[in-house]
A = this chain, B = another copy of it.
Amino acid sequence: MNVGLIGFGRTGKSVASVLLESSDTRLEWVIRGSANPEQKTAAECLGIVSNNPARIFGRHDLSMTQLLDRHPVDVIIDFSCCDGLELYAEEAARRGIAIISAISQYPEERIAQLQALGAHTRILWSPNITLGINFLILAAKILKQIAPDADIEIIEEHFANKPETSGTAKVIAESLDKPCDEIKSIRAGGIVGRHEILFGFPNQTVRLSHESIAREAFGNGVLFAAQNLLQKDHGFYSMQDLLEPYFFERSVAG
């Protein structure tokens, strides 16, 4: 599977390092905001020894048509910003290239655009593209169905100067019909990120929790998403749509 990556900030770099080290994917190119006159490869920038030295292009170095003609890919992965879509979305959909966007928030019209493009290719949008968090959300929704009377609390812990409630915690709250202002936000030191969904019963407690160790977790989520998305029909998917078949397969029984 050949992939292209849009965005080479802190998270984009972590994702690139996972892609470079995966035997299942080939990172064909990276697009970043600034130009790359020194022609450094992604592998060089990241200090990774790889016989696949993914080239880096500046956003304005060449057109998407030129890039995809010369360096075709199966999937485009977007860790840039909410305007990144302007660069590649229409062209990718025309060519049937799958799109995986990890942008945390889009305005309404961008979401509508992605939904429309889903007629022509496979599109996944996941603001928190980790396996762990998305599994947690699905599991919590199921437990809520089993035990509708249980009390639910959502607790998130992050580094001291993270300004507001974590976006992931808000997604969890919305999934469980909890008001976002009831989320308990802990802020201390350098905590990378921890989310806990607590179900309180009269005589027992169930806690589902997720701790982030490093941003490379997003890269592992991207690998899972890419592998599963390519087996889907055209359409607009969430990470939970990809996970659901695992919940519905009868083989866990017994």
Contacts from A to B (Cβ < 8 Å): 130-132, 135-136, 138-139, 141-143, 145-147, 150-153, 155, 157, 159-160, 184-192, 198-217, 219-220, 224, 238, 240-241, 243-244, 246-254
A130 to B189 alpha-carbon distance, docked (Å): 15
**Chain B residue with minimal CB distance to A158?**
B200
What chain B residues lie within 8 Å of A199 (beta carbons)? 132, 188-189
Min CB distance A45 to B, Å, is 12
Closest CB-CB distance, A40 to chain B, in whole Å?
A: 15
Report B-chain residues with C-beta under 8 Å of the C-beta of A142: 135, 139, 246-247, 252
Give the interface centre of A186, A205, A210 by most chain B CB atoms within 10 Å: A205
Most chain B CB within a 10 A radius of its CB, from A152, A189, A210, A250: A189
Q: List 9 additional contacts besides A159-B200, A189-B199; criterion CB under 8 Å.
A: A135-B142, A141-B252, A142-B246, A145-B249, A184-B184, A201-B220, A203-B212, A204-B217, A248-B250
A27 to B151, CA, bound (A): 27
Are the C-beta atoms of A248 and B246 separated by less than 8 Å?
A: no
A243 to B139, CA, bound (A): 12
Contact residue among B186, B213, B238, B252 (Cβ-Cβ distance under 8 Å from A155): B186
Report the nearest B residue to A241, measured CB to CB: B253
Q: Tell me how far the C-beta of A49 lies from the nearest C-beta in chain B, rounded to whole angstroms.
A: 18
Please report the C-alpha to C-alpha distance between residue A150 and residue B211 in the assembled complex, in whole angstroms: 14
Residue numbers in B under 8 Å from A192 (CB-CB)? 213
**A146 surroundings in chain B (CB, below 8 A):** 131, 135, 224, 243, 246
Structural contact, B186 and A214, CB atoms closer than 8 A: no
Query: Could you list some 17 contacts between A and B, CB below 8 A?
Result: A131-B204, A132-B199, A132-B204, A135-B142, A138-B252, A146-B224, A155-B184, A188-B198, A188-B199, A189-B199, A190-B213, A191-B205, A201-B220, A205-B211, A207-B208, A207-B209, A207-B211
